[in-house]
Structure 1
Amino acid sequence: MCGRYASFLPPDLIARLFGTTNPLPNLKPTWNMAPRMDAPVVRRHPDTGERHLDLLNWGFVPAFTKDLKTARRPINARAETVASSGMFRAAFAKRRCLVPAAAFYEWRADPGGKTPFAIARADGEPMAFAGIWEGWRAPDGEILRSFAILTTHANRQMAALHERMPVILEPADWPVWLGEAEGDPQALLRPSPEDVLRLWPVDKRVGNVRNDGPDLLEPAASLV
């Protein structure tokens, strides 16, 4: 976790919710965001300090990477070790970001196989995952900007599905996480309270990245 999520929020809505100032990117909505895809990310511009909404590639590439073809490109970073990891610590210190999402998916191991579930905020509001980003310069000078989503141990509700869950930040925490306000970003890396999320079973088609569309979030009829 987190390995798939729904990212269909209109760019103007994301810009309004997160207070970004740059021209809106051309976002393609997807209900099945997968690793190595470009996704909307909110980050603090390193020069102006303003919030920007940009498309970054999901799969973290450290700046010291020599060969992109053999790079591991993790999609998640563990909250417990992100500040000390040689791969992530520089980004955690200086390049933290928010990853907007409408919902995410998790799979429960059942006797008959894995059952996918969708998870969203109970209040219907978009989620903001805690993320870190990095820029990697290719030999030809082109820059690849990539990100990873931070995970922590699951709360009791999510533990019924998986032992890990994404770090979901509340709006009041965004300024500290982005480095706009004083505070300890490490202290924000905690599970969501039990009443923040709701979850429901969905069709197994979500497991195939080629499947997309709003029907992926529909409750699985046989399991409701």
Structure 2
Amino acid sequence: MCGRFIITDSAPDLAAMFDIEHEAGELPEPSWNVKPTDQIPIVLESMKSDPAVRRLEQARWSLVPTFSPELTAAFATFNARAETVGEKPTFRTALAKTRAIVPVTGYYEWHTEGTTKTPFFVHSDDGLPLALAGLYSWWRNPTLGPDDPARWVLTATILTTGAQGALAGIHDRMPVVLPEECWDSWLDPHTEGDQALVDAVVEASIEAAAGLAFYQVAPVTGDAPELLEPLGPEREVGYTA
């Protein structure tokens, strides 16, 4: 799974990395402890124009489908399982047309043994942000009038798959890390999103996952750069094809 991450890369750096054409006027501040329902930056391509415009936007981390009567879901939606995302009503519509990239500087994962949970920080071995496969959805608040700017809420989720290489020894799940050659097709709203597309990017992500590294950190509390101080040696993920 992916339940906490950090994003410290600046908006201009993300805009350059992802060839952003429109940058939202308000984006989240850097954070070393992003939690579900926090505001996060996402990359998407708007369907309102042809050709589509690539945008850097702010979204609530926990996808809420358009049909939901409330912003708070009955179950967790900050992650979506890649194996079944095409079957789930919560995510199926977003998969079809509104796919996103969630850029992260790295993410936390916990190894559980008995009642002890040990946190690790996972990041790229070259220091660049990770491009995680995501979905987004615009949720309309039915209690607000049509002219209220808060009526529409942009929400997002991160896809997860089976853990690769040494990461499988920490947790059985990990986010889907998109290689650069998949960015355009994943974001293109004119490409019909289905389970076959997800399966293809998951397969492509295996090699991208091999470029990850991780190390143990202290309990993840608060929000400061000190959370990334290592408590153990850095290890490379590696992978098996």
Using the TM superposition, give the Cα deviation of residue 129 of structure 1 relative to its aligned residue in structure 2, in angstroms.
Answer: 0.4
Could you list the runs of 5+ residues in structure 1 that have no partner in the other structure? none
Q: Which amino acid aligns with 1:21?
A: E
Using the TM superposition, give the Cα deviation of residue 182 of structure 1 relative to its aligned residue in structure 2, in angstroms.
Answer: 6.3
- Please identify, of 184-193 and 73-82, the stretch whose mean Cα deviation from structure 2 is larger: 184-193
Q: Which amino acid aligns with 1:151?
A: T
Q: How does 1:62-211 map to 2 (within 5 A)?
A: 62-69=65-72, 71-110=74-113, 113-139=116-142, 140=144, 141=146, 142-179=151-188, 185-186=197-198, 187-190=200-203, 191-193=205-207, 195-204=210-219, 206=220, 208=221, 211=222
TM-score by length of 2: 0.85
Give the equivalent residue in structure 2 for 1:14: 14
Cα RMSD of the aligned pairs, angstroms, is 1.9
How many residue pairs end up in the alignment?
218
Q: Which amino acid aligns with 1:170?
A: P
- C-alpha spacing 1:60/1:78, structure 2 compared with 1 (3 Å): same
Using the TM superposition, give the Cα deviation of residue 23 of structure 1 relative to its aligned residue in structure 2, in angstroms.
Answer: 3.4
Report % sequence identity.
35
Separation in 2 of the partners of 1:40 and 1:33? 11
3-state secondary structure, aligned to 2:94: helix
Could you list the runs of 5+ residues in structure 2 that have no partner in the other structure? 234-241
Does the 8 Å CA contact 1:10/1:27 hold for their aligned counterparts? no
Separation in 2 of the partners of 1:70 and 1:185? 26
Separation in 1 of the partners of 2:175 and 2:107? 9
Does the 8 Å CA contact 1:61/1:73 hold for their aligned counterparts? no
Q: Which amino acid aligns with 1:13?
A: D
Give the equivalent residue in structure 1 for 2:43: 42
- CA deviations on 1:145-196 (whole Å, 9 max, x unpaired) are 1000000011122101000000000111100101278696321024533631
3-state secondary structure, aligned to 1:92: helix
Separation in 1 of the partners of 2:216 and 2:73? 36
Does the 8 Å CA contact 1:176/1:185 hold for their aligned counterparts? no
3-state secondary structure, aligned to 2:166: helix
Separation in 1 of the partners of 2:188 and 2:124? 25
Does the 8 Å CA contact 2:43/2:100 hold for their aligned counterparts? yes
Using the TM superposition, give the Cα deviation of residue 70 of structure 1 relative to its aligned residue in structure 2, in angstroms.
Answer: 5.2
Using the TM superposition, give the Cα deviation of residue 214 of structure 1 relative to its aligned residue in structure 2, in angstroms.
Answer: 1.1
Separation in 2 of the partners of 1:90 and 1:134? 9
- C-alpha spacing 1:19/1:110, structure 2 compared with 1 (3 Å): same
Give the equivalent residue in structure 1 for 2:239: none
1:28 aligns with 2:29: yes
Which of 201, 216, 221 matches 2:227? Answer: 216
Does the 8 Å CA contact 1:61/1:71 hold for their aligned counterparts? no
Separation in 1 of the partners of 2:46 and 2:78? 22
